[in-house]
Amino acid sequence: MTLAEKAYEALRHDIIRGELAPGRPLRLADLSKRYGMGFSPLREALNRLHAELLVTAESLRGFRVAPLSLEELKDAVSTRILIETDALRSSIELGDDNWAAGIVSALYALNLQVARAKAPDGIWALEARHLLFHRALLSACGSPWKMAFFERLYAATERYRIPVLLNASLPVSRDVQAEHGALAEATLDRDADKACALLTEHYLRTVEGISNAIDRNELTTVPAKTAAL
């Protein structure tokens, strides 16, 4: 792994987890001290993150962590639904026994981790297994482009989900694991219409939950118009 790749992975990790807050200036001198790297790999990493919409760039002001807004979340989720339902249909059509076994394995691992989520770093292990489950559903689609868009959009929406995962005081009004189980079952039954409907509902419920939390002032986002201040 090159220094630029290491810088990219470190910055992306900290942005997604909220350790670098939305709207925060990303000054090269500060980042160099934080990550122990030179300006060149950091600048390359920032340009790459800018292309992925995780970082903004402004003339004479440099880079900032991209702001959060409910409008962006809705846009990202609607795009995820378009990409992932199409990929899911292809996976259901093309997937073999190994693909099906991968879904079963990923769901089992995810369910195991739910009970351990309160352990140190348990949330991060849960989130990693959540990604593996959703990736497994689409993995037989046969399209590297669709999988690449899936990864980018997952990261974009994960920034909104992380505060919910970390805020134990928020009310739980849904059985997410039951949703995952029903989605896996419909997929393994090769019922594309049902699986796509369940996937769509799963994502829309997440948007609704985050929106409700924001309305109750239990979560906050950074409005785009103030991100450059």
List, for residues 38-50, the tens digit of each pLDDT value.
Answer: 999 999 999 999 9
Residue 65's pLDDT band (cuts 50, 70, 90): very high
Q: Does 224 reside within a domain?
A: no
Looking at the structure, do residues 52 and 76 belong to the same domain, yes or no?
no
CB count within 10 Å of CB 183 equals 24
Among 56-65, 184-193, 195-204, 208-217, the least confident range: 208-217
Q: Does 221 reside within a domain?
A: no
- Residue 157 pLDDT greater than 70, yes or no: yes
Q: Does 203 reside within a domain?
A: yes
Looking at the structure, do residues 91 and 175 belong to the same domain, yes or no?
yes
β-strand pairing of 62-65 with 25-26: antiparallel
Percent of the chain with pLDDT strictly greater than 90: 63
Residue 64's pLDDT band (cuts 50, 70, 90): very high
**Which of 124, 213, 201 has its CA nearest to residue 164?**
213
CB count within 10 Å of CB 178 equals 9
Looking at the structure, do residues 90 and 51 belong to the same domain, yes or no?
no
193: domain range?
70-215
- The total number of structural domains that make up the chain: 2
Looking at the structure, do residues 108 and 169 belong to the same domain, yes or no?
yes
- Residue 140 pLDDT greater than 90, yes or no: yes
- Residue 35 pLDDT greater than 80, yes or no: yes
pLDDT of residue 167: 65
Looking at the structure, do residues 44 and 141 belong to the same domain, yes or no?
no
Looking at the structure, do residues 62 and 79 belong to the same domain, yes or no?
no
- Residue 227 pLDDT greater than 50, yes or no: no
Looking at the structure, do residues 124 and 137 belong to the same domain, yes or no?
yes
Q: Does 222 reside within a domain?
A: no
Which of 119-123, 158-162, 163-167, 225-229 shows the highest mean pLDDT? 158-162
- Indicate the average pLDDT of the chain: 87
- What contacts 24+ positions apart, CB below 8 Å, involve 176-182? 177/110, 177/111, 177/114, 179/205, 180/107, 180/110, 180/111, 180/133, 181/107, 181/111
The mean pLDDT of 115-134, rounded to a whole number, is: 83
